[in-house]
């Protein structure tokens, strides 16, 4: 594989990662909607199933944030490598 092919493969990968970040943003919005609805419906409830479910939704958002950060860092590294190889 020559340098041009390597650059093309990296460009395709970074495009895919960008698409994934966009999709994850939509998932986060959906989780926010679900969390808001659940909080509205169950406000003032201290039932363990309710608090546990809300905590799981919040954890899902945090996990997605970590994945987005990993993808973003990967994109930055790939772009830096492309600059380095010319």
Q: What is the pTM of this model?
A: 0.86
- What pLDDT digit, counting tens, does each position of 26-75 carry? 999 999 999 999 999 998 899 999 999 999 999 999 999 999 999 999 99
CB atoms inside a 10 Å sphere around CB 72: 13
Quote the pLDDT of residue 86.
86
Instruction: Report residue 38 as tokens.
Output: 């659940």
**Three-state SS annotation for 13-66:** HHHHHHHHHHHHHHHHHHHHHHHHHHHHHCCCCCCHHHHHHHHHHHHHHHHHHH
For the chain, the straight-line distance linking the first and the last C-alpha, in angstroms and rounded, comes to: 15
Domain ranges within the chain, ordered by starting residue: 3-85
Question: Is 10 a residue whose pLDDT tops 90?
Answer: yes
- Report the alpha-carbon distance of residue 51 to residue 48 in Å, rounded: 5
């Amino acid at each position: 594989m020559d340098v041009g092919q390597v650059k093309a493969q990296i460009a395709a990968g970074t495009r895919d990662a960008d698409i994934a970040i966009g999709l994850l943003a939509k998932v986060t919005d959906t989780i926010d909607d679900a969390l808001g609805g659940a909080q509205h419906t169950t406000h003032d409830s201290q039932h363990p199933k309710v608090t546990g479910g809300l905590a799981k939704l919040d954890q899902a958002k945090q996990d997605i944030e970590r994945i987005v950060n990993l993808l973003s860092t990967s994109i930055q590294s790939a772009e830096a490598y492309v600059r380095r190889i010319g």
